Amino acid sequence: MIVYDGTKASFLDSVLSDRIAIEIEEAILNKLGRHTPKSEFRSWENSLNYMYKVLNDKDIPDDAGIAIEYNIPPTAKRIDFMISGYDKQDKTNLVIIELKQWDKVKAIGGVDALVETFTGGANRRVVHPSYQVWSYAQLIKDYNATVQDYQIGIHPCACLHNYIRHQDDPIDHSMYKSYFNEAPVFTKGQAPFLKEFIKKQIVRGDDQSIIKQVDHGKIRPSKSLQSAIVSMIEGNPEFTMIDDQKVVYEEVLRLAKQCQRDYKKRTIIIEGGPGTGKTVVAVNLLTKLLENDQLVQYVSKNSAPRTVYTEKLNLAAKDRKIKINKASIKNMFKGSGSYYESDLNSVHTLIVDEAHRLNEKSGFYGNAGENQIKEIIHSAYCSVFFIDESQRVTLKDIGSIDEIRRWAKKEGSEIYEMQLQSQFRCNGSDGYLAWLDHVLEIRDTANYDLEGIDFDIRVFDTPNELHQMIKDKNTSNSTARLLAGYCWEWPSKQRDNTNYHDIVIGDFEISWNLQNGEPFAIDENSVNEAGCIHTTQGLEFDYVGVIIGDDMIYKDNRIVTDFTKRAKSDQSVKGIKKLYKANPQEAEKKADEIIKNTYRTLMTRGMKGCYIYCTDQSLREYLKKRISQSQI
């Protein structure tokens, strides 16, 4: 959807008469039903006055098409400025421009395509403008049938008209070169260069016809995207489905295809515990539905599984010499807060992994949108939720089967429910999970001991012994990682410093997982760091070592939790102190559930074994006793 469209001539007239920002404001109110903040209004005035200076050139045709605030289906992302027309060879072209008010930028090493700048009222890490506009161009190429069929050229660039460029400027750092080559950045004083960039692509006008064709283009994944993703999945044993995984997959596939045919809304809830293959089914569905010309996306609240599976697909593409852009893969993996501005049924299928982690609100300040479950169901004909209610680990986690049912009914959606029961983690042992629930006093089960369970579980007396075991187990044939409860601070200034050790227990010291751009789960150096719930939930390893901190101890013959022992920087229990003042019993009940669910989740990341160290000696002795009773 385009908020404002016209020709170059009409755009220049609107700017000259000081009407352009008012016209956009009125269009947003009429089309989107929302009012424009003053800051956004002022940014239009500043940026579009600059674009007046750029376009006020007789060699840029007056009937070239202009579009402002183009919403890229099915996202909430908007392209600031577009110009359409034909080049000297009569090729159809679209120039897209990302307009920024920035005046300072800091380059960020160790991560891909990120910079730091002041935006949204604070200094934040955001994507480099070249990457941002290039990824938008790739999104249009990958999913707009008109662009694919008519081979419309998409030419991205960014304009930072307040930014004074210096020699060796951070915006030009060599780490951004590949994106800069695809989408140049024009800064203050470089209007002549931006003019030349536009004039190279737009020689003859089109009277808005190209922009309108693109705006009404059918959503369809490109054939190159389909073939690349399918090739990556095929033959990869990690994504092979067995038993009830295949049964659930085939039924969801049938229902999703039915939605594509009859345009009815369907919500599918798939319940499964740790290691039942929820993500395996999700990735296979993503691949097959994409192959069936569906606009389909994998969604999760936690960025860890998205990052890991994106990286694995990128590596698979590289190994098999498949040409595909990183942005093309990344655009299929979305955060759960991506849909609060999406239109009704703008996506064919949304596959939501770790649905128990969904939040109510979205955005920088947690004040955008209404409810992530509602927004996901609203945005897709078919919404698929993979859920394990026992893995809710923060106060903000609202994902529950009842909540999904409630919103599905409100959205007029049919509801289907399925289960994944076969256990492929913890050596296929549902018994270990039941034993763990009993030991942690999460629920009463019949599994008092570990009899008949082939799973390596041990308790160590020192964290040094635990870490050494993890390093020994981390070989070319198996993965092992050290994990910990969030009882130690993670200072933002030290997140890239491998010499700063956040976790200190006696003579044992180790860093939290470094923020170096490499996913903790697959970075070979992360065996020398400790992961937390946020970097491991939804993922699995062969072996895990878990450090249980002072937030869970054994006292008076029972497991006792204490939310005051969690790190102050831990967002999982944010708001619990306020709740405690109002209702101490309710606060303690919720905190107890979060803490126990957190350790349960960490202790079920291993497929072959789990090794434990507890800072509380009584808890160590208790766990040893429970394990030894099983071995008698």
- CA proximity to 80, closest of 24, 32, 153: 24
Give the span between the Cα atoms of 368 and 382, in whole angstroms.
23
The token duo for 354 is 């770790």
Which residue type sits at 82? M
For strands 2-7 and 65-71, give the pairing.
antiparallel
Query: Is pLDDT above 70 for 517?
Result: no
What is the 3-class SS of 124-188, one letter each residue? EEEECHHHHHHHHHHHHHHHEHHHHHCCCEEEEEEEECCCCCCCCCHHHCHHHHHHHHHCCEEEC
Residue identified by tokens 């497929």 is: 607
What is the 3-class SS of 187-214, one letter each residue? ECCCHHHHHHHHHHHCCECCCCHHHHHH
Characterise 435 by phi-psi region: left (phi > 0), alpha (psi -120 to 50), beta (else): alpha
* Core vs surface per residue 403-418: b (16+ CB within 10 A) or e: bbbebbeebebeebeb
Higher pLDDT pick, 3 / 476: 3
Which tens digit of pLDDT belongs to each residue from 49-101?
999 999 999 999 999 999 999 988 767 678 999 999 999 999 999 999 999 99
Other C-beta atoms lying within 10 Å of the C-beta of residue 181: 10
Q: What was the pLDDT predicted at 543? A: 95
pTM of the entire predicted model:
0.82
Which tens digit of pLDDT belongs to each residue from 486-513?
999 988 777 777 788 999 999 999 999 8
Q: What was the pLDDT predicted at 429? A: 57
Query: Is pLDDT above 70 for 631?
Result: no
The share of the chain scoring above pLDDT 70, in percent, equals: 96
Q: What was the pLDDT predicted at 417? A: 97
Q: What was the pLDDT predicted at 422? A: 61
Cis peptide before 74 (omega within 30 of 0): yes
CATH no. for 223-420: 3.40.50
How many angstroms separate the first and last alpha carbons of the chain? 68
Domains of the chain by residue range: 2-215, 223-420, 447-631
Higher pLDDT pick, 539 / 528: 528
Q: Which of 211-225, 310-324, 589-603 has the highest mean pLDDT?
A: 589-603
Q: What was the pLDDT predicted at 630? A: 59
Q: What was the pLDDT predicted at 241? A: 84
Check the CA dihedral 246-254-386-418 and report its sign. negative
Cα angle: 325, vertex 186, 182; to 5 degrees: 15
Query: Is pLDDT above 70 for 585?
Result: yes
Contact 532, 486 (CB under 8 A): yes
Residues 6+ apart with CB under 8 A from 95: 82, 83, 84, 155, 156, 157, 197, 198, 201, 202
Give the span between the Cα atoms of 306 and 315, in whole angstroms.
14
CA trace torsion 71, 72, 76, 78 (10° rounding): -50
CA trace torsion 144, 149, 155, 159 (10° rounding): -30
Which tens digit of pLDDT belongs to each residue from 435-458?
898 899 998 766 566 776 778 999
The CA distances from residue 206 to 216, 220, 384, 544, 546, in Å, are 16, 24, 42, 61, 63
Which tens digit of pLDDT belongs to each residue from 587-598?
999 999 999 999
Q: What was the pLDDT predicted at 41? A: 87
Count Cα atoms within 13 angstroms, Cβ side, for 547: 30
Mean pLDDT of 103-130: 89
Give the span between the Cα atoms of 124 and 460, in whole angstroms.
41
Q: Looking at 237-241, 374-378, 404-408, which range is the least confident one?
A: 237-241
Query: Is pLDDT above 90 for 8?
Result: yes
Strand segments (E) across 485-549? 503-505, 508-512, 529-531, 541-548
Which tens digit of pLDDT belongs to each residue from 408-444?
999 999 999 999 876 555 655 567 888 898 899 998 7
Q: What was the pLDDT predicted at 307? A: 83
Mean pLDDT of 620-628: 92
Does an H or E element contain 313, and which?
helix 303-319
